[in-house]
Structure 1
Amino acid sequence: MEVKAISAKELHNNINSGQPIFILDVRNTEDYNDWKIEHKHLTSVNIPYFDFLDDNEDIYHSLPKDTEIVVICAKGGSAKMIGEMLAERGYHVSYLEEGMLEWSQFYHPVTVTEDKDMKIIQVNRLAKGCLSYMIISDGEAMVVDPGRHFEEYLKLAEQEQVKITRIADTHLHADHISGGPELAKRTGAVYYISRSEMQGADEIPYEPLEDDQKIQVGNTQVKVVAIPTPGHTPGSVSFLVNDRYLLSGDTIFVGGIGRPDLGGKAREWAQSLYDTVFTHIANLSDSTWVLPTHYAHIKEINEEGVVVARLGDIRANNEVMRTENREQFTEMVAGASGATPPNYEEIIQINRGVVHVADEVATQLEIGPNRCAVHHS
């Protein structure tokens, strides 16, 4: 039987169709446990590549013959070889052509809301749990927290027939490389980020958010207000769109809040995060829709394929958001951050424009999940 190569987009479409998907991941167990493809519509098992070379018949017993098996490895080569071995035994097999390397660079746009004045699109980079946004009004677009693959936003803007005029990063990202500066260079758009996030950087042109806290996109019906929300990083901001949608960066997530330890000042930044939660956003209505820059689990994606929640529900369901005692809050947040994002120090320097790397190096630096949240449900 023929072994078919499929793309990340094809795999995602198959998963979203609701048909049964069986993934055989042949990477080593440590890599699989750290980072894998997950979805409620698929079954995933890990049998390392070398186990198939031992001619052990027992390893085939867990593999179905009535469902297509999608074999996955790091870059595609090992998956193709194992796929051919399975096909010889009568299994129906395909493989992800460029493996997790390709999956790590796949972006999926979903419309959050649309009316006559405005449209918000959430762009989900599923492998990273990274979310970015395009706010559209009257032929113009603002992109918030774009990923490194700037061409994805150029393509989306072309599809939507809009011109990108504003680009912003809510903060200096530690788990992935921003596409903001390069996208601004390609489009001529203004790039916004907080001045305090770019200290020591002089190569990247930007407009400090401290100087321009109200940003207009398209017609006057669309209002984007930058709200200082420090804690995850000192210069973090959130964007309140039309008093209804809070693009919260890494400050507030559907299932947690931003970790404050990546600058080596966990307790100090946790204090700032406390002020953000109980002062800066305290007056926002419970009906405000929160659109974060990351998510940590597929359960945070709703039935429409969007990561979003009402602020009132997040407050009700998240213990940290209800902990008004400052010292207790600080202990909970500063002491529960967990493993740091891989390569985060180098990624921060790249995002400041202090360090430059080739695309191949950038791809390797970004591989792996995001680890930007502290979860207390």
Structure 2
Amino acid sequence: MNANQESKKLAVTAEELYADLKSEKPLLVFDLRLKEHYIHEHIEGSVHAVCDSRAKETIMPRIPKGVKIVLIDEDGTISAETAGMMASYGLDSYFLKDGIKGWNKGLIKKETHSTISPEELWSKIKKKENVILVDVRQAEEFSDFKIPGSINIPLSELFKKENVNKIPRNKQIITICPHGNRSMVAAFALARNGIDALSLTGGLAGWGQVLNSQVVSREESIVVQVEKIGKGCLSYIVGSKGQAIAIDPVYPAEKYVEFARNEGLQIVKVIDTHQHADHVSAARELAKITNSELYMSKYEQYDFESNRVGEGDIVIVGDSKIRVIHTPGHTTGSLSYVLNEKYVFSGDILFVEGIGRPDLRNNANEFANDLYDTLHKKFLTLPNEVIVLPAHHGEQSSSKNGIYYTTIKEAKNLSILKLLHDGFIEKVASTTLPKPMNYEKIIQINRLSQPVPVLEIANLEIGPNRCAISTS
């Protein structure tokens, strides 16, 4: 059988597709045209799709072989070729004969509302709206990291009636995957079964870029904690007399301008605690867009210009005084900042329920020794009432009124800080943890002077932060 004859076998007429859409049989209808053409008009029940290398790698292998797939393009040319390729993978794939031009059953003139943005989802979660988060990744992907409260039903399992019947039909369903491809297919499959489902735009990569701010204090100084909710990164805005400094800012940088403005502040200084390995620092970008002074540790190598600070230096913001202390252990050049002797911004050294890991620069024993000295000689000697504001929180960390913090008094009760020197070194240096995804490239970006690849940030940062050692 030649290619033309094989292609004809995969063609379906408008009448056949119309009948399939009206039936209850498992069906996926992918519109491969340009997004703007799909939005202008499309077949009701179809979903826009991009058939690229990522789709081939992440979606096609996870579609059950028994689900009928119909592809649509302008005239049936590209869809015929793609259907043949998908059929070679063992999928039950077809294309609409003559494409959208051959459809005579009426078209929808506007895009069907089938997605939800990460910001919209966060708003629903904050308002405690009745939504169910269905993560359609494989079980091993789900176990690595996830949005808290989500459930896992892999995409291939969503086509089984027994699994679909477990999902409530009176609640809003949000489908989730790494980048929004599998989740779009899942939302479509659920909609075919009468379940109101929306796909999370940009997936977990997009979720990782949402920022939320919480005011810690408005007393002597204004202190705002900024959480990168999908990543667990914590950064800060500290203000006094209308001026502010941003500590450990993350992307998107422009959000800090908004958060500061909400408190009547203008950012005039930007500083990092250390050279981050799990996320791309927005310090340079924020300093640029706010015309602020940029500060970095003088103990670390950076290939761009900044004011270098170290042990004993004082940074003034309005009437507030920030004392710099050198706190090596996570990195050799890590700094922490003591605000008015009441708060300490601890970077990745001391967390709410753990301590920083010393192994990301491949010298765990030496760094573990530094970490012990830093914790016992720099942190635990601070007054008990000093509030510790870290640069991360873990998935299991609990907040207090939406704010992640601890105190020096509480930190002294961490089991790992009760170990003597040798026991501490042995435990910390021997602890084996997965490295943050893309950490070597992220370190390089944060060190070099080249422009930050903004469009790549979401994909580079996807995954858990993995910067802490458990205290147990």
Report the AA paired with residue 242 of structure 1: N
Q: In 1, are the aligned partners of 2:343 and 2:387 still within 8 Å (CA)? A: yes
TM-score, length basis structure 1: 0.91
* Whole-Å separation in 1 of the counterparts to 2:358 and 2:424: 12
* Whole-Å separation in 2 of the counterparts to 1:111 and 1:215: 21
* Whole-Å separation in 2 of the counterparts to 1:122 and 1:337: 30
Identity level (%): 35
Q: Aligned pair in 2 of structure 1 residues 355, 74: CA closer, same or farther (>3 Å)?
A: same
List per-residue Cα deviations over 1:333-367 (Å, max 9, x = no partner).
Answer: 11114111111111111111156553233332111
Which residue is equivalent to 1:34? 144
Q: In 2, are the aligned partners of 1:245 and 1:291 still within 8 Å (CA)? A: yes
* Whole-Å separation in 1 of the counterparts to 2:238 and 2:403: 15
Which of 80, 83, 104 is matched with 2:184 structurally?
80
Which residue is equivalent to 1:308? 405
Which residue is equivalent to 2:69? none
Report whether the alignment pairs 1:237 with 2:341. no
List per-residue Cα deviations over 1:189-208 (Å, max 9, x = no partner).
Answer: 1111112212xx33x11111
Question: 3-state DSSP class of the match of 1:307?
Answer: coil
Which residue is equivalent to 2:424? 329
List per-residue Cα deviations over 1:261-297 (Å, max 9, x = no partner).
Answer: 1111101011011111111223211211111000112
TM-score, length basis structure 2: 0.73
Which residue is equivalent to 1:210? 310
- Deviation of 1:73 (Å): 2.0
List per-residue Cα deviations over 1:233-273 (Å, max 9, x = no partner).
Answer: 11111111111111100000001001001111101011011
- Deviation of 1:156 (Å): 1.9
Which residue is equivalent to 2:108? none
Report the AA paired with residue 217 of structure 2: T
Residue correspondence of structure 1 range 66-145 to structure 2 within 5 A = 66-115=170-219, 117-145=220-248
Report the AA paired with residue 410 of structure 2: D
Q: In 1, are the aligned partners of 2:354 and 2:469 still within 8 Å (CA)? A: yes
Question: 3-state DSSP class of the match of 1:254?
Answer: coil
Question: 3-state DSSP class of the match of 1:185?
Answer: helix
* Whole-Å separation in 1 of the counterparts to 2:181 and 2:471: 40
List per-residue Cα deviations over 1:1-55 (Å, max 9, x = no partner).
Answer: 97542222221122122344311111232322212111xxx4x221222333xx4
Residue correspondence of structure 1 range 277-292 to structure 2 within 5 A = 277-292=375-390
Q: Which has the larger radius of gyration?
A: 2
* Whole-Å separation in 1 of the counterparts to 2:124 and 2:188: 21
Q: In 2, are the aligned partners of 1:27 and 1:46 still within 8 Å (CA)? A: yes
Report the AA paired with residue 241 of structure 1: L
* Whole-Å separation in 2 of the counterparts to 1:212 and 1:177: 27
Which residue is equivalent to 2:154? 48
Q: Aligned pair in 2 of structure 1 residues 357, 277: CA closer, same or farther (>3 Å)?
A: closer
Q: In 1, are the aligned partners of 2:353 and 2:397 still within 8 Å (CA)? A: no
Which residue is equivalent to 2:365? 267
Report whether the alignment pairs 1:62 with 2:162. no
Residue correspondence of structure 1 range 335-350 to structure 2 within 5 A = 335-350=430-445
Report the AA paired with residue 30 of structure 1: E
Q: Aligned-residue CA RMSD in angstroms? A: 1.9
Question: 3-state DSSP class of the match of 1:112?
Answer: strand
* Whole-Å separation in 2 of the counterparts to 1:171 and 1:305: 25
What number of residue pairs does the alignment pair up? Answer: 362
With a CA cutoff of 8 Å and minimum separation of 6, indicate the structure with the bigger relative contact order: 1
Report the AA paired with residue 397 of structure 2: K
Question: 3-state DSSP class of the match of 1:349?
Answer: helix
Q: Aligned pair in 2 of structure 1 residues 168, 103: CA closer, same or farther (>3 Å)?
A: same
Question: 3-state DSSP class of the match of 1:158?
Answer: helix
Which of 295, 298, 306 is matched with 1:195 structurally?
298
Greater Cα shift, 144-153 or 82-91:
82-91
Q: Aligned pair in 2 of structure 1 residues 272, 124: CA closer, same or farther (>3 Å)?
A: same
Structure 2 alignment gaps of length 5 or more: 1-44, 46-111
Report the AA paired with residue 335 of structure 2: V
Report the AA paired with residue 13 of structure 1: S
- Deviation of 1:185 (Å): 1.8
* Whole-Å separation in 1 of the counterparts to 2:192 and 2:160: 15
Q: Aligned pair in 2 of structure 1 residues 46, 267: CA closer, same or farther (>3 Å)?
A: same
Which residue is equivalent to 1:5? 115
- Deviation of 1:81 (Å): 2.9
* Whole-Å separation in 1 of the counterparts to 2:229 and 2:296: 24
Report the AA paired with residue 448 of structure 2: G
- Deviation of 1:144 (Å): 0.2
Q: In 2, are the aligned partners of 1:7 and 1:96 still within 8 Å (CA)? A: yes
Greater Cα shift, 282-291 or 88-97:
88-97
Q: Aligned pair in 2 of structure 1 residues 328, 129: CA closer, same or farther (>3 Å)?
A: same
* Whole-Å separation in 1 of the counterparts to 2:433 and 2:416: 16
Report the AA paired with residue 407 of structure 2: R
List per-residue Cα deviations over 1:56-92 (Å, max 9, x = no partner).
Answer: 2122132122322111122224323322322232223
Which of 149, 152, 155 is matched with 2:255 structurally?
152
Runs of 4+ in 1 over 4 A off after TM superposition: 1-4, 354-357
